[in-house]
Amino acid sequence: MSEAVAYAVDADGVCTLTLDLPGKSMNVLNLALQSGLRAGIERALDDEAVRGIIITSGKPAFVAGADLKGMGGGYDFSALSDAQLLEQTLSLSMDLRRLETGGKPVVCALNGTALGGGFEIALACHYRVVADDPAIMLGLPEANVGLMPAAGGTQRLLRLIGIRAALPLLLQGRRLNPAAALKAKLVHEVVAREKLIETAREWLLNRCDAVAPWDKKGFKVPGGAGSLNAELNGFFLFNNAMIRAQSFGNLPAPEAISAAVFEGAQLPMDTALRLEAKYMVKLMRGSVSGALIRTLFLNKEKADKLESRPEGVEKVTYRKIGILGAGTMGAGLALHAATVGLEVVLLDRDQASAEKGKAYAMKRLGRDVEKGRKTQEKADKILARIYPTDLYADLADVQAVIEAVFEEREIKAAVIGKAMAVIPEHVIFASNTSAMPISGLAEFSVRPQKFIGMHFFSPAERMPLVEIIRGKQTADETLVSALDLAQAMRKTPIVVNDSPGFFTSRFIGAFVSESLRMVEEGVLPALVENAARMVGMPMGALAISDSIGLELSYNAGLQQARDHGVRTPPLGIIGKLVVEHQRLGLKSGKGFYDYEADGGKRLWPGLEKIYPPQAVQPSIEEVKTRILYAQLAEGARCFAEGVLVSVIDGDLGATLGVGFPTYLGGPFSAIDTLGVARVVAECDRLASLYGKPFEVPQLLRDMAAHNQTFYGLKAVLSPGGHNLAPPR
């Protein structure tokens, strides 16, 4: 028998197949596990002594899904024909169909999490028992990585609970705990962990049924199926409209899943399984799943595990930190840090302001308690970790300080000086700034080698990214300590070198600036905003500017101008709205948009009076191209200039930090997908029409000339000579 699957038969004829990949902390569906499962199924079905089969796991989790690491992100199936790829995709599906129709009852004893293909194994069993543990997650999350279930998941789920209930679970990739799975009728029983195998055996010996419901004569899909069902037709029309409205056709997986459910429900099971696999092959041939897997799964995991952290440097175990500034950012950071178990000294200019920051945490936690996401006891423990104060002396025993005060150099200089006077020499000082050069701020510190930038994103309690900025005098030990702090705060870190705007602010600035420039040119604001959504941005640049605050953006622009010796810069579009029209953004109820009390909004009609529309408007495709390629060009410049030391960090920073379309995987993944030569040619065209924002660095031209890419076997070396992307 395979090492990956243990085979045992007891005196009652109960065969137990225990999935247990050797040398792995959890089971994943790779070739070894699938081969072992196939061999175990055949042996059990052929063994006359076997009355029934239990499938369980020898690890804490059942099966965590497909081996995405093995896929590598951007995996290449070009050597396989469509027929070969279809048969490869169908292999697990056929194994499970053999299990399901083999004539012997099968029960799945789910001792831990079962996701994706792991849960598809469970669905192919005639009975499902799960341990009563709220940490266990069950579901089919393939849509989240641009794929779909392809081992019968779409077809069994719709036949089990009906199309209306199944489709949202598939499209959203929802994960359910055992209680929720039982309520949704995805499992048959939830039992105490110690009774899991006992319950499975009892069902096999006394209550078993070796035929799935959909293989019984007269079976009908719960709730109906077929194109003649008027109610279901309406449901699918609404569903398809919602998918198109949300993705603008950029995400093929939801459309493939919906089609497989609609069509498969009308077919015999074996035909439906082949249909499902055909739709999966189309997704595997595309670029979206590879980009999503590489950036949001593989590369994010590397960053979270601090794989680039130097070996031999002692790890800092954080217990207590200080946060300077109890405004929206500081209060959000305090809430998040306390939630993950850190003690927080939250300091502001006076006690009332500091208490207001803690009140923010109290309000957010109260909402969680009301909605049942937290108990009052847990909320109280979190609040108890936040200590509001106006005394700098209270920072004397913290292990790190994060400054999150207003984005003005003089204010930051004052708090830096006061904090440095009391914190121990070994403590790092991190400035949360979105654009101010860290090397300049470090001049206000008596220990610039202990000074670093940590740019968090709002709302800090939800956004997963932190951009760590290394100043000119930042010591190696300080950088490592900042990485340890990011991990302690459960944030995904990227590391960049110092420059005005660093990477993320420069990158989103390219998107915002080009969008605003189009409005100034007379392109209709609605056209610009809608084009951004169609590209895949979560919102248009005008809405983003309003949410940030026009006054804040205007003041930041003034500060940058002063830093470059310009005392009175000309008013741009934001300056005109702030200074001449007193439109300050979302918080004031009026900016590029007018905001209604009920939450509605509409573009301010006065904008077209300031910037009259062109008589002939550009095509939507041209506007989309300008929005996308302005960002690609800026990303390439950041890399060529050495602001970015890793394209992995660039892709993570763009997608997790500032909303670059995830289906593209980040700017560098997108350039690879589009083709470097094509990107250079298109940027040259755009630069000839619209100027400097589309100029590409010589590095990109050299890459095109030598057929190099940012990822893979032909990955370009960084300007510093370091290979940034290991071959996949």
Write 204-209 long-range contacts (CB < 8 A, 24+).
Answer: 204/14, 204/51, 204/52, 204/53, 204/54, 204/105, 204/107, 205/12, 205/14, 205/51, 205/52, 208/52, 208/105, 208/107, 208/126, 208/127, 209/105, 209/126, 209/127
**C-beta of residue 524 within 8 angstroms of C-beta of residue 617:** yes
DSSP for residue 303: H
Name the active-site residue from 455, 564, 706, 722.
Answer: 455
- The secondary structure of 141-178 as a DSSP string is -GGGGT----SSHHHHHHHHH-HHHHHHHHHHT-EE-H
Active site annotation includes 126: no
Cβ within 8 Å of residue 126, ≥6 positions away: 100, 105, 106, 107, 208, 209, 210, 211, 212
Write 39-44 long-range contacts (CB < 8 A, 24+).
Answer: 39/1, 39/2, 39/5, 40/1, 40/2, 40/5, 40/7, 41/17, 41/95, 41/98, 41/99, 41/102, 42/98, 43/1, 43/7, 44/7, 44/15, 44/17, 44/104
Query: Burial code of 5-29, b = ≥16 C-beta within 10 A, e = fewer?
Result: bbbebeeeebbbbbbbbeeeebbbb
- Give φ, ψ of 111 to 5 degrees: -90, -10
Distances (CA, A) of 534 to 530, 548, 623: 6, 22, 10
In DSSP terms, which residues pair with 8 in a beta bridge? 16
Determine the 3-state secondary structure of 670 from DSSP: helix
Q: Tokens for 667?
A: 């700017």
- Separation CA 548–CA 585 (nearest Å): 8
- Separation CA 408–CA 685 (nearest Å): 39
| Cis amide prior to 459 (ω within 30 degrees) | yes
Give the rounded distance of the alpha carbon of 452 from its chain centre.
26
- Of the candidates 404, 392, 380, 388, the residue with the CA atom closest to the CA atom of residue 345: 388
Distances (CA, A) of 607 to 469, 510, 576, 721: 37, 21, 10, 48
Does an H or E element contain 634, and which? Answer: helix 620-640
**C-beta of residue 482 within 8 angstroms of C-beta of residue 450:** no
Give the rounded distance of the alpha carbon of 694 from its chain centre.
28
Does an H or E element contain 322, and which? Answer: strand 320-324
- Paired sense of beta strands 386-389 and 400-403, if any: unpaired
**C-beta of residue 403 within 8 angstroms of C-beta of residue 431:** yes
Cβ within 8 Å of residue 242, ≥6 positions away: none
Instruction: Kindly list the catalytic residues.
Output: 455
